[in-house]
Amino acid sequence: MSKIKPAKGSPYARILGVGGYRPVRVVPNEVILETIDSSDEWIRSRSGIATRHWASPQETVAAMSVEASGKALAAAGIAPEKIGAVIVSTVSHFKQTPAVATEIAHRIGAGKPAAFDISAGCAGFGYGLTLAKGLVVEGSAEYVLVIGVERLSDLTDLEDRATAFLFGDGAGAVVVGPSDEPAIGPTVWGSEGDKSETIKQTVPWDEYRTTDSAEKFPAITQEGQAVFRWAVFEMAKVAQQALDAAGITADDLDVFIPHQANMRIIDSMVKTLKLPEHVTVARDVETTGNTSAASIPLAMERLLATGAAKSGDTALVIGFGAGLVYAATVVTLP
């Protein structure tokens, strides 16, 4: 018989507050057109993107995360020293070690929490949220800070007509804490590694260090049509599975917050899921671009800040991207 005592966590967990940070510089499509043969009309029709934010040298992954975290903590009404764990999802922190989460934890005054980074691409926020829920329910941390942050402008090939216009920078953060009722549903997540070549870094870091391979800095590339088909057809199925796992239907939803990859993907998912007209759909991609792990919390923050969504609304969130990986769940908005 085990001598380990039962965990003394919360029966449930919820998102208590959300915060976001977008870099000061706004980059319109006209800037992108300086290096690729395209048009503003083509970019908008293919992606729905009109502008994106690019970070300055001072707006580092850590700096943007600190700003977003401060807003999330203030919204949640939680002091930094109460944070028991900091989880950061990013693919654009260029120091292999230490984890940027440790720096962020120190800079926000969180004391000595557990702190670690995860790499799950555009599904990273969903992965982090799932881990945070488990920590709160299991009792390893009362409050967890989950951050999605990217400086994808550092990994963008501005001469690649297929991707140069897609990516933006920013950080989004949420505070996850105890709840007396279910407020974060079961996560439907997974990976399809046989499709890992469809979104990838062009040159591995170990090859880049050699003289022969260092002609161009590593960038993110993707097979656009293959990714589009996968996202539209397969991710709609995952989204429906998340609704089923939460025990609700599309009619019960108030808000839909998909990864902000492409407006056409978002609109196609809305149609496939047959979402009712009353459901508010996040379309932050138009002015923020694809910010990978940061896109869902940034879109959530904007919906709440503008009044398009309100506290207590039921929202379906789904992230999907490089790996290929995905994560979907239903949450109650803070």
Annotated catalytic sites, by residue? 122, 259, 290
User: Got the DSSP string for 28-61?
Assistant: EHHHHTTTSS--HHHHHHHH---EEEE--TTS-H
Residue with tokens 């919906």: 303
* Residue 198: other Cβ atoms inside 10 A: 20
- 74: amino acid identity, one letter: A
Q: Rounded to an integer, what distance in angstroms lies between the CA atom of residue 14 and that of residue 175?
A: 8
Q: Rounded to an integer, what distance in angstroms lies between the CA atom of residue 20 and that of residue 125?
A: 13
Q: Which two tokens stand for residue 155?
A: 């990994």
Q: Rounded to an integer, what distance in angstroms lies between the CA atom of residue 52 and that of residue 320?
A: 20
Beta-bridge partner residues of 13 = 178
Residue 172, φ and ψ in degrees, nearest 5: -130, 145
Q: Rounded to an integer, what distance in angstroms lies between the CA atom of residue 130 and that of residue 227?
A: 24
Separation in Å, CA 198 to CA 188, 194, 208, 241: 22, 9, 20, 24
How many H helices and E strands in the chain?
11, 14
Beta-bridge partner residues of 114 = 85
Residue 329, φ and ψ in degrees, nearest 5: -160, 165
Residue 86, φ and ψ in degrees, nearest 5: -125, 120
Q: Rounded to an integer, what distance in angstroms lies between the CA atom of residue 169 and that of residue 149?
A: 8
Q: Rounded to an integer, what distance in angstroms lies between the CA atom of residue 7 and that of residue 246?
A: 24
Torsion sign over Cα 210, 211, 213, 215:
positive
